[in-house]
Structure 1
Amino acid sequence: MPILTLTTDFGLKDGFVGTLKGVILGICPEAQIADISHTISPQNVLESAFTLWRAYSFFPAGTVHVAVVDPGVGTQRRPLAMRLGGHFFVGPDNGLFTPVLADAGKNGWQVEIVHLTNKDYWLPSVSRTFHGRDIFAPVAAHLAKAVPLSDLGEAIHDPVRLQMPHPEKTNDGWRAHVTVVDVFGNCATDLPAAAVASAKGVAFRLRGREVRGLVEAYGHHPPGELVALVDSENFVEIAVVNGSAARQLGAQVGDIIEVVMDK
């Protein structure tokens, strides 16, 4: 039974997400559809890129991942489909797939990318504002039905790539970045826990506030306390116990975190 995932900034107030699912199920009734997120900040391609990247590898090989955070819809930006690491990805060519493409480079995976030009696999009528419904959902459904990737369009080798933030080594430690703010207001970062594992002590500075050390669990500290800990992906996270670090600090995706290590 084929599996498809959806990552969008559509929210759940309107019928957009349901419409995507309806299109997919109309073409591939046997599909199982999993929602990764529909609450990406509107038009935030960087946030969607990190959100998809943190989730996709937990799905079985052969999963088709549809990602639609598409501020360039209706313009000359290309619609894409690709295969890498045993997974398929469908969405706009706006850099959204940069982190998964980086995984391919690090792991030596073969990458196949097509510019979606074969309209036989689109809906008959294509709007200027809803390519998620008219192009990406039907293409993903056809991929789930084992239509060859090469049938969907022309091979390309130059997808748009974002300038992704990466931790930078400094004299005192690291300069890291907030990559995802979750529904609890926890601020995930791009700093692997291993980067500070050897330090005798460490401090994290974000938006004028400092947190010293790493705690083992939220519940080991009183409500309202600002803490740093290792998240489920083995990256450093800044959080407020039973609260929202993002709201308390005014933090958002892209913010810089200064990391000072005692050696």
Structure 2
Amino acid sequence: MNIVTLTTDFGLANAFVGTMKGVILARAPRATIVDLTHGVAPGDIRAGAFALLAGCRYFPNGTVHVAVVDPGVGGPRRAIAVRTRDYCFLGPDNGVLSWALARETVRSVRQIANARLWLQPVSRTFHGRDVFAPVAAHLARGGSFHRVGPELADYARLPWPAWRETGGKVTGEVLVVDRFGNAITNIPEVGLPAGMFSGLVCVGRRRWCRLGTYYAAVPPGQAVALFGSSGFLEIAVNGGSAAARFGLRAGSRVTLRRDDSAESRPLCRTTR
């Protein structure tokens, strides 16, 4: 396979993304480059990690996943390459790869240190172009993984906010807010305790919305809680932004509690 995906916080207003693609194609002309996203908020490592986690597993085996959300570029942070059973991952060693890697079988971790593979001279501020893109091209065209640099014992891990079950309640938090204003939490659909699917969702103290199975399960302008395509509980507004309406952001606490009378009352409570 010679597929390369790109996940960055570069946006599309400047030439950063196109330049990375040019470097890859100059060295691996047969590569297929897929934009996973370039809409990560600047420097938001957590949002980048979630985007990679949400999207990487849908690609064919052998895909090279490049994630560049790199506020520490030019500093002491390492650049790393990770080979798993199915993929290769490249990025700064700041945790942006770690949520995706937690679902993978990691086979080898190496520091990207072989300057002969890089684009010279190397900018102190654009390792996406000069380091990650040429190494991605090397791997996409079948180059040896061990050539990227020395083996490492480990890599930086971004803590995954744990959800907790206590006293008939499941407590979690908002992980990210997507471009529609949906607040995606760390409460998973798979593994949720029995009975919680007819529970009450509280985000703060006062506002309520109905638990549904799709966004249009409530009239336009009303709030709804549902398990979205990512497999996690999210708070949404049909045709609007839950984040804007309720002041939700990464880290906002979310509580799902059992409610035996759920069929006769609103099922989701949302506040700041």
Q: Report the TM-score range of the alignment, normalised by the length of the smaller protein.
A: over 0.9
Contact 2:82 2:106 in 1 (8 A): no
Contact 1:63 1:88 in 2 (8 A): yes
**Which secondary structure state, in structure 2, belongs to the residue aligned with residue 155 of structure 1?**
coil
Equivalent position of 2:270 in the other structure? none
Equivalent position of 2:222 in the other structure? 225
**Which secondary structure state, in structure 1, belongs to the residue aligned with residue 196 of structure 2?**
coil
Please give the alpha-carbon distance, in whole angstroms, between the structure 1 residues aligned to 2:76 and 2:45. Answer: 17
Matches within 5 A, 1:134-145: 134-145=130-141
Equivalent position of 1:44 in the other structure? 44
**Which secondary structure state, in structure 2, belongs to the residue aligned with residue 103 of structure 1?**
coil
Please give the alpha-carbon distance, in whole angstroms, between the structure 2 residues aligned to 1:200 and 1:37. Answer: 31
Equivalent position of 2:242 in the other structure? 245
1:128 corresponds to 2:128: no
Please give the alpha-carbon distance, in whole angstroms, between the structure 2 residues aligned to 1:254 and 1:193. Answer: 19
Please give the alpha-carbon distance, in whole angstroms, between the structure 2 residues aligned to 1:190 and 1:24. Answer: 35
Equivalent position of 2:252 in the other structure? 255
CA offset at residue 197 of structure 1?
A: 4.9
Please give the alpha-carbon distance, in whole angstroms, between the structure 2 residues aligned to 1:8 and 1:45. Answer: 10
**Which secondary structure state, in structure 1, belongs to the residue aligned with residue 20 of structure 2?**
helix
Please give the alpha-carbon distance, in whole angstroms, between the structure 2 residues aligned to 1:180 and 1:137. Answer: 27
Contact 1:203 1:212 in 2 (8 A): no
Q: Unaligned stretches of 5+ in structure 2?
A: 261-272
Question: Percent of counterpart pairs with the same letter?
Answer: 44
> Over the residues paired in the alignment, what is the CA RMSD in angstroms?
1.6
Q: Deviations over 1:63-122 (max 9, x none)?
A: 000100001100110000111131010110001111122213xxxx24211001111110
Contact 1:166 1:190 in 2 (8 A): yes
TM-score (norm: length of structure 1): 0.93
Contact 2:195 2:258 in 1 (8 A): no
Contact 2:173 2:186 in 1 (8 A): yes
Between 212-221 and 151-160, the greater mean CA deviation after superposition: 212-221
Q: 1:167 aligns with which of 163, 168, 172?
A: 163
CA offset at residue 235 of structure 1?
A: 1.7
Equivalent position of 2:111 in the other structure? 115
Please give the alpha-carbon distance, in whole angstroms, between the structure 1 residues aligned to 2:240 and 2:197. Answer: 28
Equivalent position of 2:187 in the other structure? 191
Matches within 5 A, 1:204-219: 204-211=201-208, 213-219=210-216
Please give the alpha-carbon distance, in whole angstroms, between the structure 1 residues aligned to 2:153 and 2:210. Answer: 44
Contact 2:221 2:237 in 1 (8 A): yes
Please give the alpha-carbon distance, in whole angstroms, between the structure 1 residues aligned to 2:38 and 2:204. Answer: 27
**1:94–1:110 Cα change, 3 Å:** closer
Letter in 1 for 2:258: M
TM-score (norm: length of structure 2): 0.90
Contact 2:119 2:130 in 1 (8 A): yes
Please give the alpha-carbon distance, in whole angstroms, between the structure 1 residues aligned to 2:20 and 2:256. Answer: 42
Please give the alpha-carbon distance, in whole angstroms, between the structure 2 residues aligned to 1:162 and 1:45. Answer: 9
